[in-house]
Amino acid sequence: MTDIRWGILGAAKFARQHLAPAIHAARQSRLAVLGTSDPAKAAPFRAIESTMRVVDSYDAVLADPEVDAVYIPLPNTLHVEWTRKALEAGKHVLCEKPIAMRADEIDALIALRDQTGLVAAEAYMIVHHPQWQQVRDWVQGGAIGDLLRVNATFTYDNSGDPANIRNTVDLGGGSLPDIGVYTLGCTRFVTGQEPERILYADIRRENGVEVTTEALAQFDGFTLTSLTSMRMTPHQNVTFHGSAGVIEVVTGFNPQVHGHAEVRLALPGQPTQIVQFPGVNHYVLQIEAFGAAVRGEPAYPCPLEFSQGTQAFIDMIWGAEK
């Protein structure tokens, strides 16, 4: 297999802005088919890839013999269903996060992945960015001594967009499903550890939708404070505070959109070491890593088991609500 021929289920805004351009830019990948019943929504995708074909249903994408892999940017509550359908149709699957609403839902997807021998993964792009690989090397290499505390914040404000699916209970809305995967998952990725228990969880809702969550989690030797919100000024920052230094990730989750990719290592009595990553696109790196896994090259660096661990963490926070 040379180029991976991609199909996209639905003309979602995120797919239009980020993943379709990434597929187009990635090596050995091609956007082949878009499933949408609205020709007007297909036009921006055709501007990205003029040879792309449009079919009028998701099932038609899955039935297309010229599609090797599908990207699923559907509402959260549809992710498990369409990931299953795509695997059963013989397609490799990259599904938007969260791939499931509960950790136990991922068991069946792991079993189906193993049964079919196909690649199935959550589109958790930050682990492909070299800034997070640098932070992981620093922390696990002892650059800041013993890790004592992580503070992770990711906020934005969509209060003016009540029709947004993130503000809809029935579609799996909420800040934890949308961006909690980043504050919680990045901590697991960097440290290689799992949370032991939730010490505190303040969950705030509007019209039944969780809009802000602040949680304190105990790990082995350190704590994580995670703040996610869909009702606060846009901001993101992560710090890893150790016994011998501090690491700061300035724009950890969507560099080139919110800010630039930069990590800082501050050690007492030394100049702060600053590492920047201009021009790095983690969506392109994600597509290239997925294609490599499909071709039997290095294994995909973010398997479903990792995604299940993050969802289990979210489930723990839900369970700790007062």
Which residues does the annotation mark as catalytic? 97
Which token pair is 294? 């499909």
- Compute the radius of gyration of the chain from its Cα atoms: 20
The owner of tokens 């294609």 is: 291
Q: Where are the alpha helices (DSSP H) in 18-144?
A: 20-25, 39-48, 58-63, 79-88, 106-116, 130-140
* DSSP conformation class of 179: I
Alpha helices in the chain (DSSP H): 13-14, 20-25, 39-48, 58-63, 79-88, 106-116, 130-140, 175, 181-191, 282-294, 304-319
Q: How many C-alpha atoms does 110 have within 13 Å on its Cβ side?
A: 14
119-151 burial: b if 16+ Cβ within 10 Å, else e: bbbbbbbbbbbebbebbbebbeeebbeebeebb
Distance separating the N- and C-terminal Cα atoms of the chain: 52
Helix axes 181-191, 304-319, angle to 10 degrees: 120
Q: Determine the residue type at 97.
A: K
Going by the DSSP 8-state scheme, the letter that residue 287 receives in this structure is H
Say which residue the tokens 């090797």 belong to. Answer: 68
Q: Name the DSSP class of 177.
A: I
